[in-house]
Amino acid sequence: MYAQEGSGRDISCGHSLKYNRCIYSREVRASHIILNINASKSKLSCLLQHIAREYLLLIPFSRIGQPAFHPANMLRGAFQVARAAHHTLRSPCVRAAGSMFVVPRRHMSSSVPDISLGLTQDQIEFQKVALQFANDRLLPNAAKWDQEEIFPRDVLKEAAELGFGGVYVKDDVGGSNLSRVDASVIFEAMSTADVSTTALLSIHNMCAALIDRFGTEEQRQHFLPQLVTAERLASYCLTEPGSGSDAASLQTRAVKQGDHYVLNGSKAFISGAGESEVYLIMARTGGPGPKGISCILVEKGTPGLSFGKKEHKLGWNSQPTRAVVMEDCKVPISNLIGKEGEGFSIAMKALDGGRINIAACSLGGAHQCLVTARDYIKVRKQFGQPLSQFQALQFQLADMATSLYGSRLMVRDAAQKLDENHPQATVLAAMAKLRATDQCWDICDAALQMHGGYGYLKEYPIERFLRDVRVHRILEGSDAVMRLIIARSLLKD
């Protein structure tokens, strides 16, 4: 049951809890939940109650009617934050500091350009939730995941509890049913802490949305409930060892035998391969060219499906990358997504959204590098004065901020056009990805240069962002492919 206006319900979460929807004036929106904790029964201190309450205040009430935003899930998240604060309070360094302590926070809205600029009130709320999750669960662990190549499966599930496992999947199967603009805001915010993990989550979202949009009702009901909760993860399988940018020349074949397809071939550079449970395979069921390609869903554990060695990469180290190999891999015909021959079209439509997502991840990484560089040159002194007093660095910082703001506008505009099914959505997505991924790489590189030798050390986060955003200019369509799409649109009669 969900909260109703003017009423409350008890929820059993190990504490005596009650929540109400509050009626606010026009000046204070009716978009928050207030958590009333029975202090006589609760084991939380007043401070932890406050932390839990503040966490819930970040959740927009407009999402409460969806399974991912069920009050039990939100309360679980609130107490996770409270428990984390409890551990912080108990740490020796905090106790030694005395009764007053400060938990470092990143106030992204105070930076220029403001990442909330131009957003609706609901989108600002989504952004706050994503930033808090990034601060609490991604930022403290991102460097360790990167250096030790740890895949944070449990953290992805926590993100899904906030509705981030199926951001633009319909709500009848548990999705959040948000827009592409909303998704770009969420992925950008999360990427300010960890580009690699957020990028994998964005690919998972792309796959879930593909099933939601093009799958049968039976496929939707069977696969999506576990995908939106991240109990199962999905991987997108288009690229092959011999077909990268020329995706329509892929060689993986699917031959119909009775009521099954038998697949043979391999896919290369697949994010999540070996860990994901669902693989969307683009395979040739007909003749040469794009019209001979179909999209077939293959589940982990299917006989004949195997994986190559884990690749060791420059960046994106919190997510595994492997080859996906099919040798007489037999799957039911019912696993066909759409119709035979529609696979390439489906793959390209999915990539329109995927390109916006990856561009948004670049924005997040570049934004954090810009803020970090700005703060660094304010305190770093050379020749008797802070670096921020040198006009050359001031101008460079101004150019970085201008490039970031322009890229963000292009990404959000392309996302809006995709939401509207605008006829130029594909070319605008290509423009946005080209511009954002190139400019954001330049911003990260400039931020590292401002740090000098310190920027090259792993103790500073700049080099991790630099490594993680570099691949964005290659995957989901390289820079050259983006230019090809744009040029073809310009030259079309």
Active site members? 476
Contact 297, 249 (CB under 8 A): no
**Tokens (6 digits) for 493:** 């009669």
Report which DSSP code applies to 140.
T
Assess contact for 266 and 293: CB atoms under 8 A: no
| Paired tokens of 281 | 């395979």
Q: Please tell me what DSSP assigns to residue 288.
A: S
**Contact between residue 364 and residue 198 where contact means Cβ atoms under 8 Å apart:** yes
Dihedral sign from CA coordinates of 484, 485, 486, 490: positive
- Lookup result for tokens 């420059």: 314
Does residue 202 contact residue 415 with C-beta atoms inside 8 Å?
Answer: no
What span, in angstroms and rounded, lies between the C-alpha atoms of 240 and 247?
A: 8
Residue type, 17: L
Sign of the four-CA dihedral 10, 14, 16, 21: negative
- Token pair recorded at residue 451: 């740090």
| Phi and psi at residue 277, to the nearest 5° | -100, -15
**DSSP annotation of 281:** E
Q: How far apart are CA 72 and CA 12, in angstroms?
A: 8
Write the DSSP string, 45-102: -HHHHHHHHHHHTTS-GGGTTSGGG-HHHHHHHHHHHHHHHHHHHHSHHHHHT-S---
Those residues whose C-beta lies under 8 Å from the C-beta of residue 156, and which sit 6 or more positions away, are 165, 197, 200, 201, 204, 230, 233
76 vs 65: CA distance, rounded Å: 17
